[in-house]
Amino acid sequence: MRKVSSWWNVDYTDVSSYEEWRVWLVSIRIPNKLKSMMEGVFYGLWWSIWNFRNKLLFDNKTPKKALIFDNLVSLSFNWCKYRCKASFKWDD
C-alpha cells in the first residue's frame, strides 16, 4: 500500500481492515475520476497479493515478491487502457 500511495502521490496511512481503507479512500482530496481509478488500482493490488499467495502455495517455482508492484502497474495500465473510454499511452 505504501508504494501505491507514493505512486499516486497521496499520504500513506496504515490500515488494518477494509473499512479503515474505505474511510482513508473517502478522505483523500482528489477528483472523483482519479479516485475511482485509484480505487481500481487498490483492488488490483489485492488481486495481485492473492495471486502471489496462490503461486507461493501451489506452484513449484517460488514467485518474486519484488515483482508484485511492477505487475500491478502493468495490470492497472492495461485495465485502464482497455476498460476506460479515455485514450492514453504508457508515456502519459
- Given a cut of 80, whether residue 86 has pLDDT beyond it is no
Q: What is the pLDDT of residue 7?
A: 87
- The answer for residues whose C-beta is within 8 angstroms of residue 84's C-beta and 6 or more apart is 37
Q: Is the pTM value of this prediction over 0.75?
A: yes
Write the pLDDT tens digit of every residue in 9-49.
898 889 999 999 999 999 999 998 888 888 989 999 999 99
Grid-cell match 473517502, residue found:
26
Q: How far is CA 71 from CA 2, 21, 30, 51, in A?
A: 16, 22, 25, 11
pLDDT of residue 26: 92
Q: What is the pLDDT of residue 92?
A: 52
